[in-house]
Each structure stands twice: as C-alpha cells, then as structure tokens.
Amino acid sequence: MAAPRNGDAAASAAVLFVCLGNICRSPLAEAAFRLEAARLGLDVDVESAGTGDYHVGEPPDRRAQAVARRNGVDISTYAARQVTEEDFRRFTHVVALDLQNLEALRLRRPGDATAELSLLLDHVEGRAGEAVADPYFGDASGFDTTWADVTAGARALARRIAEER
C-alpha cells in the first residue's frame, strides 16, 4: 500500500507529526496514522515535519523505510521538511514525538495558532509523558520499537478524532 501525502486535500481534521529531523519517527507516525485513519474511514490530512533543518529534502532513513514496508506502507517518496509557522494554522493537531520537540513547537507557535499541541503517547492510556525514543543512532531493532510506539499512538489519536466527529 502506497502512502501518498495529501497536503492539498480538503479534510475536517489535519494532523502533523513532528520529530527532530523528519527522517525516522515522524514519517513512521504519519504512515501508521494513515493506516489507522483508512481503517476507520477518516478523511484526515496527514503529514510529518521536523523541528530541525538537518535533513530537508531527504527521504526517510532506510531503516524507517524497511520497517514501514514490512508493515505494508511505502514511505520511500516522503521528503523531510521543517515545521513552518503556517503549520500551526493549517493543522488541527500538531503532535510531537518527544518532550524536546514539544517544547520547541511551543516556542515557535505563533500567537494566532489554532493547532492543538500534544505529545503522541499522551493519547495512549497509561503512557502520558512518554517519548517515542529516537532510533537513529541504534540498530534496526530500534525501528521496530518505534513502529510499535507510533502505531499505538496513531490508533489512540485516530480513535479520539473519530469520536469527536
């Protein structure tokens, strides 16, 4: 199953997943959320971005691509981008993967922002305040753990959005 980005699609909810470089955790969260939204029949605009500009224009880490592919999603066409001020107006939910990125988002958030900021695992019962660990400097097994975490968070957030409609 391909996971095309639909940034121009009209949707009543829009979710942006954010990590540091937008090549590991946030693209996987985007992919997991797309799967769950499709399963629930949600019309949701979904993207990912990074607070840093280290990897702008690059595809996701090859290990992230591999774990996504094993779970039925192709993220090879994704390109890393950095969060913009407009993201805080365009997206209804801006979801950080860890506390450092959540704080960076709070500092960048413009005064007229409408997006709800949250930490992904805050949406999972019993996991409030937990970060999705960055697998970048580890081996491939860390990406399996990341996939499990972002899938749990994506399922919980998608259910919440579905219930709010």
- pLDDT digits 0-9 by tens, 70-86: 999 999 999 999 999 99
Instruction: Give the number of other Cβ atoms within 10 Å of residue 157's Cβ.
Output: 27
Q: Give pLDDT, residue 3.
A: 42
Beta-carbon contacts of 18 under 8 Å, excluding residues fewer than 6 positions away, are 26, 48, 49, 50, 51, 83, 94, 95, 96, 97, 101, 105
**Tens digits of residue pLDDT in 107-154:** 999 999 999 999 999 999 999 999 999 999 999 999 999 999 999 999
Active-site residue numbers?
Answer: 19, 25, 134
Q: How confident is the model at residue 29 (pLDDT cuts 50, 70, 90)?
A: very high
Q: What is the mean pLDDT of the chain?
A: 93
**Strand order across the 116-119 sheet:** 44-50, 13-19, 93-96, 116-119
Domains of the chain and any CATH numbers: 13-159 (3.40.50.2300)
Separation CA 101–CA 106 (nearest Å): 9
Q: Please say if the pLDDT value at position 39 is more than 60.
A: yes
